[in-house]
Amino acid sequence: MSEEQTVSLVDVLEEDEELEEEASAVLAGSDSDHCSYPQGYVKRQALYACNTCTPKGGEAAGVCLACSYKCHEGHELFELYTKRNFRCDCGNRKFTDLQCKLHPEKEEVNSVNKYSHNFFGVYCTCGRPYPDPDDQVEDEMIQCVVCEDWLHGRHLGCVVPDCVELHEMICESCMNKNSFLWTYAAHLAVPGAAVQVKEEMGADESNTNLPNQKEKDDDVMEPSCKRSREEAEPSCRLKDLQAIGQKRVQSGAVFWPSAWRSKLCSCNTCQDNLSVAGLSFLSDESDTVLAYENKGKTNERTQQGHDPLMSALDNLNRVQQLEIIHGYNDMKTELKDFLQRFAAEGKVVTPDDIRQFFEQQQSRKRRRVDAERFYCT
Ligand SMILES: [Zn+2]
Ligand SMILES: [Zn+2]
Ligand SMILES: [Zn+2]
Ligand SMILES: [Zn+2]
Ligand SMILES: [Zn+2]
Ligand SMILES: [Zn+2]
């Protein structure tokens, strides 16, 4: 066989370099040895729900990365990616049988934790599992930065922009619950994301394309400068934007460009309102998944696995991480079986064989890398 027909596992893995880096960053930002409970409500951490210990019908619970390894080995885990302000539940009152091996001393419940249907393994407005055995449509899942649910790209009610990984998304339901966000959306959000939803409304407004958006943004502070001194309070950017009153169709999810959070008004009134709405994190750039992942990348490469298969296959420690983040507890076994089958038959592993293996694995996981392929036109 020619050289081109064979490929090392490392070659294949390098194709997935970017994907693996992201995945490992998610894990590297969390501690894999110590239960995060003593840290209290962690700003952002990788989180898991255990279908074995806390199945549907009972109370929802989430456990930290270390507990997913040490206390729930062999259990059916839902990988929740990261969530904010969460305190590990492992072994607390919600777990009838299980005792946490890492930090057994816990309060009965963590009253500030927020739960959603994700903790029972279903996602999106359609309430489907992920991966979904009945769904043949290849579609990415995108996390809403407010409710932190994962939604199918096709269930967002808007056009998913190019390079979606550079944007933060707020789902329609969260937009409507916090209607002031629509004001910001008209000025700050990715234009066109919701445009084509309703083209025919407002016969008096022919310009739905948000012309000169950048210029208007820069002018925003101007009216406030002319305001009289009688108001003791400093100007409110949100009020100024409301006064400008740019039109935007108020339906569908909204995508926001990088650094949009820093453009939100930070006057006292707005800060109070954000706090009352439970949205104070929106004025905090370090709350973003991106900030968390960057932190993880910095902390990365402190430990190497000693599994013989892992060291034999060089880069595979990252795949091991990938396996964990996506709940592939049995991937290693499958990979071994897969390779042994070829060894037993005296066959050479071809690129197609290996690709097929990883495609089978990857078709089950939630990644953003497919974004461009499906949405760039
Ligand atoms: Zn824990
Ligand atoms: Zn469990
Ligand atoms: Zn535990
Ligand atoms: Zn859906
Ligand atoms: Zn949402
Ligand atoms: Zn304000």
Which tens digit of pLDDT belongs to each residue from 331-361? 666 777 777 777 777 777 776 777 777 777 6
Do 192 and 77 belong together in one domain?
Answer: no
Do 13 and 37 belong together in one domain?
Answer: no
Any alpha helices (H) in 220-314, and if so which ranges? 222-225, 237-244, 268-276, 289-299, 308-312
Measured from the alpha carbon of residue 114, the closest ligand is 5
Q: How far is the CA of 150 from the centre of ligand 5 (A)?
A: 8
pLDDT range class, residue 312, cuts 50, 70, 90: very low
Do 177 and 282 belong together in one domain?
Answer: yes
- Is 19:369 a contact under the CB 8 Å cutoff? yes
- For 187, 237, 266, 273, 311, the CA distances from 269, given in Å and listed in that order, are 20, 11, 8, 6, 56
Distance CA 295, CA 31 (A): 12
Return the pLDDT at 331: 66
Do 255 and 333 belong together in one domain?
Answer: no
Return the pLDDT at 131: 87
Domain's final residue, options 78, 103, 120 = 120
Q: What is the DSSP letter of 168?
A: E
Q: What is the mean pLDDT of residues 205-225?
A: 43
Q: Averaging pLDDT over each range in 200-214, 232-246, 305-319, which range is the top one? A: 232-246
Measured from the alpha carbon of residue 97, the closest ligand is 2
Q: How far is the CA of 279 from the centre of ligand 1 (A)?
A: 25
- Nearest alpha carbon to residue 185 among 196, 197, 171, 199: 171
Return the pLDDT at 320: 54
Q: How far is the CA of 70 from the centre of ligand 3 (A)?
A: 7
Q: Averaging pLDDT over each range in 15-19, 27-31, 140-144, 196-200, which range is the top one? A: 140-144
Do 97 and 162 belong together in one domain?
Answer: no
Contacts of 229 (CB under 8 A, 6+ apart): none
Instruction: Please indicate whether residue 222 or residue 160 has the higher confidence score (pLDDT).
Output: 160
Tell me, yes or no, whether 132 lies in a domain. Answer: no
Q: How far is the CA of 235 from the centre of ligand 6 (A)?
A: 7
Do 44 and 14 belong together in one domain?
Answer: no
Do 278 and 335 belong together in one domain?
Answer: no
Measured from the alpha carbon of residue 77, the closest ligand is 2
pLDDT range class, residue 303, cuts 50, 70, 90: very low
Tell me, yes or no, whether 225 lies in a domain. Answer: no
Do 77 and 40 belong together in one domain?
Answer: yes
- The answer on pLDDT for 205 being more than 50 is no
- Is 255:165 a contact under the CB 8 Å cutoff? no
Tell me, yes or no, whether 161 lies in a domain. Answer: yes
CA dihedral 201, 177, 265, 195 (to 10 degrees): -30
Q: How far is the CA of 48 from the centre of ligand 2 (A)?
A: 10
- The answer on pLDDT for 152 being more than 90 is yes
Q: How far is the CA of 143 from the centre of ligand 5 (A)?
A: 8
Q: What is the DSSP letter of 350?
A: P
Return the pLDDT at 192: 59
- Amino acid present at 286: S
Measured from the alpha carbon of residue 253, the closest ligand is 5
Cα atoms in the 13 Å half-sphere on the side-chain side of 368? 19
Residues lining ion ligand 1 (Cβ < 5 A) are 35, 64, 67, 88, 90
Do 156 and 280 belong together in one domain?
Answer: yes
Do 245 and 368 belong together in one domain?
Answer: no
Q: What is the mean pLDDT of residues 183-208?
A: 59
Tokens 């390079």 found at: 163
Total number of domains constituting the chain = 3
Measured from the alpha carbon of residue 240, the closest ligand is 6
Return the pLDDT at 326: 55
- Is 82:44 a contact under the CB 8 Å cutoff? yes
Do 317 and 364 belong together in one domain?
Answer: yes
Tokens representing 304 are: 């190497």
Tell me, yes or no, whether 139 lies in a domain. Answer: no
Do 310 and 251 belong together in one domain?
Answer: no
Measured from the alpha carbon of residue 139, the closest ligand is 4
Task: Give the rounded percent of residues in the chain with a pLDDT score beyond 70.
Answer: 67
Q: How far is the CA of 303 from the centre of ligand 1 (A)?
A: 20
Task: List the single range of 44-53, 145-154, 239-248, 250-259 with lowest mean pLDDT.
Answer: 239-248
Distance CA 354, CA 361 (A): 11
Tell me, yes or no, whether 23 lies in a domain. Answer: no
The residues that bridge with 82 in the sheet, in sequence order, are 46
Q: What mean pLDDT is reported for the chain? A: 77
Tokens representing 281 are: 């994190």
- The answer on pLDDT for 310 being more than 90 is no
- Amino acid present at 352: D
Question: Which 3 state secondary structure label does DSSP give 337?
Answer: helix
Q: What is the mean pLDDT of residues 207-214?
A: 42
pTM confidence score? 0.67
Tell me, yes or no, whether 206 lies in a domain. Answer: no
Q: What is the mean pLDDT of residues 112-130?
A: 96
Instruction: Please indicate whether residue 181 or residue 166 has the higher confidence score (pLDDT).
Output: 181
Q: What is the largest CA-CA distance in the chain?
A: 87
Tell me, yes or no, whether 227 lies in a domain. Answer: no
In which domain, by residue range, is 352 found?
3-18+303-375
Task: List the single range of 118-127, 152-161, 292-301 with lowest mean pLDDT.
Answer: 292-301
Residues lining ion ligand 3 (Cβ < 5 A) are 67, 71, 90, 100, 102
Return the pLDDT at 11: 52
Tell me, yes or no, whether 324 lies in a domain. Answer: yes
- Is 273:183 a contact under the CB 8 Å cutoff? no
In this structure, how many other beta carbons lie within 10 angstroms of the beta carbon of residue 45? 24
Q: How far is the CA of 169 from the centre of ligand 5 (A)?
A: 8
Distance CA 221, CA 208 (A): 23
